[in-house]
Amino acid sequence: MLYKIEGGIDLSFIRKVANSDLLSSVMDIPEPLKNKKVEILVLPYEDPIKEDAKDQKPVRVRGLLEKYKDKTLQAQEAGAWARAVVDKHEDSRC
């Protein structure tokens, strides 16, 4: 049966009483609950982290590392990856 809570908040849920053996194929049932009637509640899941993230303004990181820039190294950095690959694999056979 589907229940709805009145008062502006849409919180629909399902409540059912059943034997815990029905759930054993879906989840691990603790020993004290095996072979007993249990109450099953199905509620909508809302991730509070995602909800909080929607309210936050995105952080801009452009220029954050500007103070670490070293112009004297920029010429060396231009071909650094290609040189590293050659150095690492020059003795490899295809």
| Contact between 2 and 12 (Cβ < 8 Å) | yes
DSSP SS3 for 85? helix
| Contact between 37 and 18 (Cβ < 8 Å) | yes
pLDDT tens readout for residues 40-83: 998 887 766 666 666 677 778 888 888 888 888 888 888 888 88
H/E segment holding residue 3:
strand 2-4
Residue 54 φ then ψ, to 5°: -65, -30
Is the confidence at residue 10, as pLDDT, over 90?
Answer: no
Instruction: Supply 93's token pair.
Output: 């056979």
Query: Is the entire prediction scored with pTM above 0.75?
Result: no
